[in-house]
């Protein structure tokens, strides 16, 4: 009896303790969920209090070039050998034959007066870009393109070709196995071509032989050239540099150029000055502009495009002509009539008075790019029609943006 009461008491006590544990665990979970929600709200409020996060500024190094720190274009003329019968026809390309004869003579082989019929040689142009501050012995990539009627440069080897700069001096020499990104295969009946087999490249095929002399650290001043000239952006660049580095360091020369005067602390250490300012973030600005590529139907509109109050309707006049097979009309039996074929043509004119995508949209004064796109999409306007509509709105004086056609 005592054991029964004791057991019941212990079971009730344990159940009560277990329920209390459940309540505490439930409260703990609720408390953790509340903390997470509170942290989320604080994060949202922080985002709202910092509008610059939504509109991140651009780094100076991404919107401007430093004067003198630039690439240089190189070009040369050479020969590609080792082709599998896909080279130039010497009878059609006199320059290839002359180049081959001159090359053989430099090797001590006299072929003048002997007709050459090789099909494994092609005359090519070799182009490359010399990066700034390239030193002697450094390597660069080169691009090889056929000049004559060679069909394929696959498997060819570029012979040593000097690459000239704009001043006529040799700055690099290129040579190596050509890599082709395409191919051409087939016979007289069927031909498959992928890419351009008459153009290829040689990775690290050029060796720099002459450096471009440019004493960057000894410059008393230098200029920044903006990629997209704009007076507001140029003023922002000058203000940021003057605030972060030194007052009066930067001045705006024109909408595309900012002049920097090297301070005394950076004399003979201009590289450090550029390293300090190229990471500065600048708020950029551009005029309202719409760029239209009529060939592909591509339209790109800037964020600042605005329009005045205007109503837009898309013309949907459609004339539909349907012609059915002729109906044959035969005379009654034993009559003197003739069999006649009567044409059946139906003409339907649809002026688009009703139906989805056939209504007028009104865009209010100061409408943004989003409003403009949504209003035109409501009409079911395609890219081709949108080009005409934008040009018409501009002609009406309601579009506050510049339209550039490419």
Confidence of residue 307 (pLDDT cuts 50, 70, 90): confident
Instruction: Give the CA distances from residue 250 to residues 51, 244, 278, in Å, rounded to whole numbers and listed in that order.
Output: 27, 11, 13
Q: Do strands 402-405 and 289-293 pair parallel, antiparallel, or not at all (unpaired)? A: parallel
Segment 21-49 mean pLDDT: 48
The residue with tokens 């720099």 is 208
Indicate if the pLDDT at residue 326 is higher than 60: yes
Burial of 307 (0-12, 13-18, 19+ CB in 10 A): buried
CB contact at 8 A, 280 and 240: yes
Say which range, 73-82, 196-205, 365-374, has the weakest mean pLDDT. Answer: 365-374
Q: What is the pLDDT of residue 364?
A: 59
User: Is pLDDT above 60 for 43?
Assistant: no
Helix (H, G, I), strand (E, B) or coil at 81: strand
Q: 306: pLDDT confidence band, cut at 50, 70 and 90?
A: confident
Flag the least confident range among 243-247, 251-255, 380-384: 380-384
Environment class of 270 (CB within 10 Å of its CB; exposed 0-12, middle 13-18, buried 19+): buried
Give the pLDDT confidence score for residue 376 in this predicted structure. 67
Give residue for tokens 């035969």: 330
CA distance 80 to 98: 14
Residues 6+ apart with CB under 8 A from 379: 312, 313, 314, 357, 358, 359, 360, 361
Q: Is the per-residue pLDDT at 92 higher than 50?
A: yes
Instruction: Between 232 and 57, name the one with better pLDDT.
Output: 232
Q: What is the mean pLDDT of residues 32-61?
A: 52
Compute the average pLDDT of residues 285-301.
Answer: 81
Summarize the confidence of residues 375-386 as an average pLDDT: 69
% pLDDT > 90, the chain: 30
Angle at 130 between CA 225 and CA 272, to 5 degrees: 50
Give 208's pLDDT tier (boundaries 50, 70, 90). very high
Q: State how far the Cα of 97 lies from the Cα of 123, in Å rounded to an integer.
A: 9
SS3 193: strand
Of 41-45, 100-104, 183-187, 248-252, the one with minimum mean pLDDT is: 41-45
Whether pLDDT at 293 is above 50: yes
Helix (H, G, I), strand (E, B) or coil at 339: coil
Residue 140 has pLDDT above 80, yes or no: yes
Better-predicted residue by pLDDT, 320 or 327: 327
Residue 261: pLDDT above 80? yes
Round the average pLDDT of the chain to a whole number and report it.
77
DSSP state of 153: -
Sign of CA dihedral 327, 328, 331, 337: positive
pLDDT tens digits, one per residue of 76-90: 999 999 998 999 998
**How far is residue 214 from each of residues 84, 181, 277, measured CA to CA in Å?**
45, 36, 20
**What ranges do the domains of the chain cover?**
72-208, 221-282, 290-322+345-405
Quick one: which H or E segment has residue 239? helix 231-244
The whole-number pLDDT of residue 305 equals 80
d(CA 268, CA 171): 27
Q: Bridge partners of 300?
A: 291
């Amino acid at each position: 009896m005592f054991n029964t009461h004791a057991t019941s008491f212990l079971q009730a006590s344990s159940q009560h303790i277990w329920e209390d544990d459940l309540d505490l665990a439930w409260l703990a979970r609720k408390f953790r969920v509340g903390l997470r929600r509170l942290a989320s709200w604080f994060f949202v409020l922080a985002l709202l209090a910092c509008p610059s996060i939504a509109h991140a500024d651009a780094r100076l190094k991404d919107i401007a070039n430093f004067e003198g720190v630039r690439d240089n274009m190189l070009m040369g003329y050479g020969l590609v050998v080792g082709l599998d019968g896909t080279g130039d026809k010497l009878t059609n390309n006199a320059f290839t034959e002359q180049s081959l004869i001159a090359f053989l003579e430099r090797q001590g082989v006299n072929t003048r007066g002997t007709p050459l019929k090789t099909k494994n040689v092609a005359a090519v142009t070799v182009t490359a870009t010399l990066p700034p501050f390239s030193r002697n012995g450094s390597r660069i990539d080169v691009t090889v393109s056929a000049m004559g009627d060679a069909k394929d440069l696959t498997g060819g080897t570029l012979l040593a070709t000097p690459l000239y700069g704009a001043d006529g001096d040799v700055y690099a020499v290129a040579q190596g196995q050509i890599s082709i990104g395409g191919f051409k295969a087939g016979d007289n009946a069927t031909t498959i071509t992928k890419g351009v087999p008459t153009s290829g490249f040689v990775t690290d095929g050029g060796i720099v032989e002459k450096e471009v002399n440019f004493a960057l650290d000894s410059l008393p001043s230098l200029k920044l050239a903006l990629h997209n000239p704009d007076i507001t952006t140029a003023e922002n660049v000058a203000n940021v540099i003057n605030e972060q580095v030194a007052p009066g360091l930067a001045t705006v020369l024109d909408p595309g150029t900012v002049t920097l005067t090297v301070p005394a602390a950076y004399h003979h250490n201009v590289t450090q000055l550029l390293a300090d300012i190229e990471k500065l973030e600048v708020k950029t600005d551009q005029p309202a502009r719409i760029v239209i590529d009529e060939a592909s139907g591509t339209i790109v509109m800037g964020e600042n495009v605005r329009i005045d109050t205007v109503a837009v309707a898309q013309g949907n006049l459609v004339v539909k002509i349907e012609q059915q097979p002729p109906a044959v009309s035969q005379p009654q039996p034993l009559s003197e009539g003739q069999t006649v074929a009567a044409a059946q043509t139906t003409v339907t004119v649809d002026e688009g008075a009703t139906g989805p995508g056939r209504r007028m949209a009104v865009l209010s004064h100061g409408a943004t790019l989003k409003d403009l796109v949504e209003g035109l999409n409501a009409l079911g306007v395609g890219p081709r029609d949108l080009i005409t509509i934008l040009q018409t709105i501009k002609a009406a004086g309601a579009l506050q943006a510049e339209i550039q056609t490419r």
